[in-house]
Amino acid sequence: MSSTNMSTNASTDPSIDPSAAAPNPAAQADQKPSDQSPPGVSSGRSWRPDLRGRPELWLVPAVFVVVMLAWEFGVKLFGVKEFVLPPPSRILEQLRVQLESDLFWRHVWVTTEEAMIGFVIGVLAAMVLGTAISQLSLVEKTLMPYIVAFQTVPKVALAPLFVVWFGFGLTSKIVMAAVISFFPMLINVIEGLRSADADRIQMLKVFGAGRWQVFRKVQMPSAMPFIFAGIDIGIVFSILGAVVGEFIGAQEGLGYLLLQTNYNFDIPGMFAVLVVLSVMGLVAHAVVRLIQRRVTFWAEQSRVIGA
């Protein structure tokens, strides 16, 4: 505060216009590039990708085309047998045939069902246990050694056991999917709830917040970015779990179909199933990302002071 400032401002009218002090803040906010604005907050964003300064937008498809062409002609050039590595055109053909069969869609549905039910169970269990661990230190101290020990077990190795316990039907695959998506989720829930900023917790406490309010208003929202990271890993893992379960013993599902095509030396058909499995994983990932962007839009912006 300099005295020059004060004398220029020495108005007897106490209601000095504050907008004079903060020069045109609205204009500043509008100058932000639209892709920095969170969804639901920005006004009118363009869906046409801006190619300037984003070479990846054409590099990614270009790499795909080059690899496919090299594969297609390389296989023919070196005379690689179709049951070792079929050319992409054969895989595509086989994929078309499969997509037209109802039986194939039945397999897709079975695997999807197992993975999703298992995923939901795994995520919910991880949320409950993770919350208990983060809120009650006795639970943490008692259970953490077991969780760490159990985490080192390769979960897919349990699949044969689950088939023995839960049979050849859906249940053993659901259990496998649940177990395999549970752990990455659990770790993220615990870390996320711990990540809550201590100053923000103190702020709530000053205003009289109790434990539950601190949990609801700070810890839970702070954990959301972590929880979504866990969900993102977990949902892809759950497909893996379902397929591994089907490998061990099943009458339907994409894992079962993979083994069948393999026994029959239908290698193009096998690749076609792999393509479908990766598309399923990609769709799951994309859906998670879409929801995440809406829920934790604020986490992508780091300009909050006290963060």
Partner 1 sequence: MSHTAPMERAAVPSDAAAGTEAAADANPSWIRVEGLDKVYHPKRSAPTLALSDIDLHVRRGEFVSVVGPSGCGKTTLLKILAGLIPRTKGEVSIAGREVDRPIPEVGMVFQAATLLPWRTILQNVMVPAEIQKLDKRKSLARAHDLLDMVGLGEFKDKYPFELSGGMQQRAGICRALVHDPAVILMDEPFGALDAMTREYMNLELLRIWKESRATIVLVTHSIPEAVFLSDRVVVMSPRPGRIAEVLDIDIPRPRELRMMSSDAAGVYVERIRKYFNASVID
Interface with partner 1 (CB under 8 A) = 1-3, 5-7, 9-12, 14, 16, 18-22, 25-26, 28-29, 32, 37-38, 41, 197, 199-200, 202-209, 213, 217-218, 221, 224, 296-299, 301-307
CB 230 within 8 A of CB 184: yes
CB 109 within 8 A of CB 254: no
Q: Least separation, in Å, of the C-beta of 297 and partner 1?
A: 8
CB 180 within 8 A of CB 238: yes
Q: Indicate the residue among 103 and 198 with the shorter CB distance to partner 1.
A: 198
Q: Least separation, in Å, of the C-beta of 258 and partner 1?
A: 42
Q: Indicate the residue among 30 and 102 with the shorter CB distance to partner 1.
A: 30
Q: Indicate the residue among 140 and 197 with the shorter CB distance to partner 1.
A: 197
Q: Least separation, in Å, of the C-beta of 304 and partner 1?
A: 4
Q: Indicate the residue among 1 and 157 with the shorter CB distance to partner 1.
A: 1
CB 242 within 8 A of CB 176: yes
Buried b (16+ CB within 10 A) or exposed e, 60-81: eeeeeeeeeeebeeebeeeeee
Torsion sign, CA atoms 159, 150, 220, 214: positive
Q: Least separation, in Å, of the C-beta of 210 and partner 1?
A: 9
Q: Least separation, in Å, of the C-beta of 24 and partner 1?
A: 11
Q: Least separation, in Å, of the C-beta of 202 and partner 1?
A: 5
CB 91 within 8 A of CB 72: no
DSSP 66-125: HHHHHHHHHHHHTT--TTTS--HHHHHHHHHHHHT-HHHHHHHHHHHHHHHHHHHHHHHH
Buried b (16+ CB within 10 A) or exposed e, 246-271: bbbbbebbbbbbbbebeeeebbbbbb
Q: Least separation, in Å, of the C-beta of 214 and partner 1?
A: 10
Q: Indicate the residue among 3 and 251 with the shorter CB distance to partner 1.
A: 3
Residue 176 is encoded by which pair of tokens? 């496998």
Q: Indicate the residue among 156 and 295 with the shorter CB distance to partner 1.
A: 295
Q: Indicate the residue among 47 and 212 with the shorter CB distance to partner 1.
A: 212
